[in-house]
Amino acid sequence: MNKKYQTTFILDTRGYNEPVETLVEKLKGVIESAGCQIEACENLGQKTFARATDRNFPAGIYVKFDYEGPANSASIIREKLRLDRTVDRFIVIAK
C-alpha cells in the first residue's frame, strides 16, 4: 500500500558549478528509483538558516517534493543520499 509523503531537501551548493536544476533532476531520479511517483516539485529558493551550525554555510537551497510511494521509501532515499555532499539534510513528512 502506498502512502503520500512530502520531503524537503536542503542543498549545499558550495563548490558545485552546475545549475541547481541538475541537482533537482538528480533528486527526482533518486525518489523515482525508490518506487515513488512524484506529484509535485517546488524549488523554494535560498533561505538563511535561523541558527547556522557552520559559519561557512549560513544559507541553503530548499527544494520540496510531494510524492506517493511505499512505506519504506524514506529509508531507501536516505540510504541513496547518505554520501551525497550536495544534500545537507532533508525531512520526510507522511501526509
Per-residue buried b or exposed e for 19-46, using 16+ beta carbons within 10 Å of the residue's own CB: ebeebbeebbebbeebebeeeeeeeeee
- What is the Cα gyration radius of the chain? 13
Name, in order, each residue with C-beta under 8 angstroms of 49's C-beta and a sequence gap of 6 or more: 58, 59, 60
Grid cell for residue 44: 523554494
Per-residue pLDDT of the chain (95 residues; tens, 9 = 90+): 899 999 999 999 998 889 999 999 999 999 999 999 999 999 999 999 999 888 999 999 999 999 999 999 999 999 999 999 999 999 999 98
Which residues sit opposite 11 in a β-bridge? 61, 87
CA separation for the pair 10, 47 (Å, rounded): 9
What's this model's pTM, rounded to 2 decimal places? Answer: 0.92
